[in-house]
Structure formats: C-alpha cells, structure tokens
Amino acid sequence: MDGKFNLEEAAKKTRILDVNSRYFGLETSVLMENAGRGVADEISRRLGSGKKIGIFCGTGNNGGDGFVVARHLMDKNEVTLYLLGHPKEIQTEEAKRNWQLLEHTPLKKFLIRDSTDLSRYDFDQFGIIVDGMLGIGISGDPREPFKSTIQKINTAKAKKVCIDVPTGYGSNISVKSDLTLSFHFSKVEGAEVLTLGVSLDLENRIGPGEVKALEKRRSDAHKGQGGRVMIIGGSSFFRGALEYAGRAAAKIADLVYTCAPEPCSGTVEKIPDFLGTCLPGDFLSEAHLPEILRRIDQYRCDSILIGPGLGLGPEMGIKEETKKMVIGLVRELKEIKIVIDADGLNAISDHLETLKENVVLTPHRGEFKRLSGQEPKAENAVAFAKKYRCIVVLKAPVDIVSNGAKTKFNFTGNPGMATGGTGDILSGAIAGFASTNDLFDSSLAATFVTGLAGDMVQKEKGHYFTSTDVLGKLSEAIRWAEEF
C-alpha cells in the first residue's frame, strides 16, 4: 500500500485529532454531526434526491456517522438503515444518541446479527448504498457478518458511497467504492475530503491525544520491555539537573542508567531508580567516551539524554574535552534516539553538521538564538529542524515542536515553571517516552505532560513552587492525559 495512505498512521492521526478536538472544546458529538451532514449533503449534491438508499452501519463511530447521514437524507429519499449488531452494542455515547434520535422517526431499520440474516434483504432495490460499517481503526479481514455483507453489497448495482474509508480497506475483502468521502484529510487514494470544522490552528495544537497515542505497556511485560534510558550528565557544580532528568525518565521507562562524574556519586547513590556507577574525574570528557559507549551497548539502551549538568557552572561553562565527548557520542550513535539539552546544546553548537533524524534538541529561547543565530520564532525553528534534519523542542510560553516537516504548538505550562530544573524534567520525560516510542511523538507528549504537571502545581500553590513540585505531579499528569 502506498505509504501516503497508511491506514495505521491515518487511524492514529484521527484518534489524536478527535481527542484533542474534545480537549479544546470541539465535542465529538459536533464532529459526528458535521461528518454525517457533510456526507448527506455531498450525496444530495452529486446524486440528487428521490432515491432508494440503503445505509449500512456498524456499532462504532463510523456507524454513528451513518446514523446522522440517514437522518439528513430520509426526508427527500426512501432510506433503509441496516445495523450490523444490536443497539445495545453501540459503543459510544455520541453514536447511541444519534441512534436514539432515529428511533423517534419512521425510518425503516433492520438488524443484521449474523450472515444468515442477509437472505431476507434485497440489496438490488437500492440506487445508492452508503457504507458506514467499519472505520479506519480496524485491522485484518472483516469478520462475519461484515464479510458476507460486503460481498453482497459488492454484487449490487447501486452506487456505493463509503464514509471515511471503504469497510475492509487494505484487507483481502473490502467494499468496492464508487465514492469515498474522507473527513479532514484523505485516508485512501482517490477519496474526496470533507471538512469537520476543525481549524488548522486546533489541529496544530498538542493535547492529550499525543499521550494517548503512545505505546501502552503490555500486561505481560517484564523488566526492560518498558524501555531503557541512559542519562549522561552532571558535574561538581550541577548535580540536581542529573537528578531531575533521571527521576523524570524513571517515571516512564523501566530502567534508567547514568554516566556521571565522581562528584555526582552522592546523588546517584541516594536514588534507587538510578543504575550504574560514576566515572572518575570532576567532569565527563572525551577520555570517558569508550566507556560510555560500552555501557550504552552493554545495557541495551533505547534512548539517551546528553547534557543535564554537564557544565561547570557560571563563568566556567563547558570544557573542550566535554564538548568532544558529546560530539563523539552523536557521531557514533546512529540508531539510538538521542535527546540533547542544557550544556549538551553548547557542546554541539559548533558541530551542527553532526545532527541527524535520531536527535532532538531542547533549547530555551536564549539557547536557540545562540544555536541558530536567529530569533526564537516558529518559522526559524522549522527552518533549523529542516536544515539539520533533527527535531527541535523550542521551550517558550508557547512551546514549538518541529521536525521540519511537521510542527505543533504546546499551550500547557505557566510562568512559575521558569525555575531551574523544569527543562531537565522535560528532557528526561522525552527520553523516557522515546525508549519505547517514536522520537517526535515522544517530544510532543512529554512537552504536553510536563507543562500540565506544572499547571497542576500552580493550581495548588500559585506561581511559587519548585521543580521538585513539578516532578511530583508528572505521573498524575500522564495518567490524566491517558484517561482523558
């Protein structure tokens, strides 16, 4: 199948859009009404009225769209609706309400409970058949009674109109569509696109949908399958940065390893979530590179975070030997997902040519200006990400996350988070999610939940709080987004 019409990606994008639309105030019931009304209007515009129309619906939201189509077409056409299943099996409240609206009308409705029911019905009577049986969230060949219904629909002479995607698309058996009407964006080749009323501004906002779309931990998972993260940072001056980043990552991934210099031993030893021993010296340097690479390989790390606390404090900056270590890591690690933050950004600033698709940078506005020589604006972040083939998370009052091709904006967070350590929590959360997920998707989700954790703290304490408070709310923020 053409990658442009990858159903798995389309289903994921649709789920995110549905969740985020609801989060930003555009309810699912409104989207369903817009979808069904749009299909009905398009059928009337293209095919006229006074037709015999058969509408076939499943028990999911695709069927809910079909219920709306039936309601809008029934006044000027002879409409018959077939529900594959039982009304008690309708899955969402929005679809149930639209079914209930139909029960107060004279619309002819029949149930198809199994394939033997099909012999009762004549599909050849219809001039138009509308397919609202199964949407894009279904994988594999359709089961009965969908399979036999599809086969019978395909033998009918009627014009076949499919809602969003033809039922069974991408499998061995699917509805042979004459017209597919996709919502918001094309799901299959040749589809006509109808608007849902979702603005581009809303679509480009990050919400709980990005968190819900991440991989869920399997019920039978064992230690390590939830991701392995390596945190590389810390110095004699900065130890808290290492702790914030590591603790954030540990809330998400199964195992968190550290490569930190000797002055951080107290921090590493007091935190039971940290694995690994400190390396000799007051700061990390190029001399440590072979050992760091060995540990990353030995511990089978899925993602690494470079930067929290690498520098030696104000006036001191970051050592040249440390910069060489960072550059060496980025050059050597071509497959592992890499998050670069704080002094890691300073280390890489003169060697941006080493960046690639497996790297995300997390600068605040000042750091971005130093990195790029440009103002911290959306168009500049996009251009930078495109030029260096990396991901940029530009931290600002409205965060900007871009990989050069896709750009989204995050509105969680508040001024109280302008305190030392919140950036380390964000970078640790990105690395944690990235240990089992796509790096761009992880950047979106982590940006949202870190800001949300800060908003939860602000609600309790006002603007005066610490990064420790934010860290304490991170798990709650993730859970809230997952359950939204």
Q: Which of 293, 267, 290 is nearest to 278 (CA)?
A: 267
- 60 and 131 together in one domain: yes
- 192 and 221 together in one domain: no
- 241 and 169 together in one domain: no
Spatial contact of 342 and 308, defined as CB atoms under 8 Å apart = yes
Give the CA distances from residue 188 to residues 9, 41, 436, 458, in Å, rounded to whole numbers and listed in that order: 12, 21, 29, 45
- 244 and 158 together in one domain: no
Which residues 6+ apart lie within 8 Å of 329 measured at CB? 232, 289, 292, 293, 304, 306, 338
- 240 and 184 together in one domain: no
The values of phi and psi at residue 197, to 5°, are 85, 15
Instruction: Tell me whether residue 408 is in a domain.
Output: yes
- Determine the Cα–Cα distance for residues 484 and 477; give it in Å rounded to an integer: 11
Which residues 6+ apart lie within 8 Å of 72 measured at CB? 36, 37, 40, 41
- 267 and 167 together in one domain: no
Question: Which pLDDT value is given to residue 275?
Answer: 95
- 292 and 439 together in one domain: yes
Q: Which domain holds residue 105?
A: 3-203
- 114 and 44 together in one domain: yes
- 153 and 232 together in one domain: no
Q: How many structural domains compose the chain?
A: 2
In the numeric block, which tokens belong to residue 229? Answer: 């993260």
Where does a domain end: 137, 168, 203?
A: 203
- Determine the Cα–Cα distance for residues 48 and 228; give it in Å rounded to an integer: 59
Question: Which pLDDT value is given to residue 223?
Answer: 79
- pTM of the predicted protein model: 0.93
- Determine the Cα–Cα distance for residues 232 and 344; give it in Å rounded to an integer: 9
Instruction: Tell me whether residue 134 is in a domain.
Output: yes
Where does a domain end: 150, 175, 203?
A: 203
CATH number at residue 38: 3.40.50.10260
- Determine the Cα–Cα distance for residues 317 and 237; give it in Å rounded to an integer: 11
Q: Which of 33, 48, 60, 40 is nearest to 132 (CA)?
A: 60
Where does a domain end: 169, 203, 237?
A: 203
- 86 and 124 together in one domain: yes
Spatial contact of 455 and 431, defined as CB atoms under 8 Å apart = no
Which residues 6+ apart lie within 8 Å of 228 measured at CB? 253, 254, 255, 256, 257, 299, 300, 301, 302, 303, 435
Which amino acid type is present at position 242?
L
What 3-state DSSP class applies to 229?
Answer: strand
- Determine the Cα–Cα distance for residues 166 and 176; give it in Å rounded to an integer: 7
- 392 and 259 together in one domain: yes
* Helical ranges in 276-341 per DSSP H: 289-298, 320-332
Instruction: Tell me whether residue 211 is in a domain.
Output: no
Instruction: Tell me whether residue 127 is in a domain.
Output: yes
CATH number at residue 247: 3.40.1190.20
- Determine the Cα–Cα distance for residues 44 and 51; give it in Å rounded to an integer: 10
Other Cβ atoms within 10 Å of 373 Cβ, number = 9
- 277 and 385 together in one domain: yes
Q: Which of 186, 190, 63, 80 is nearest to 128 (CA)?
A: 80
Tokens 């970078």 label which residue?
427
pLDDT tens for the chain, 484 residues: list them. Answer: 344 468 889 999 999 999 999 999 999 999 999 999 999 999 999 999 999 999 999 999 999 999 999 999 999 999 999 999 999 999 999 999 999 999 999 999 999 999 999 999 999 999 999 999 999 878 889 999 999 999 999 999 999 999 999 999 999 999 999 999 999 999 999 999 999 999 999 999 999 999 999 988 777 777 778 999 999 999 988 889 999 999 999 999 999 999 999 999 999 998 899 999 999 999 999 999 999 999 999 999 999 999 999 988 887 889 999 999 999 999 999 999 999 999 999 999 999 999 999 999 999 999 999 999 999 999 999 999 999 999 999 999 999 999 999 999 999 999 999 999 999 999 999 999 999 999 999 999 999 999 999 999 999 999 999 999 999 999 999 999 999 9
CA 243 to the chain's CA centroid: 27
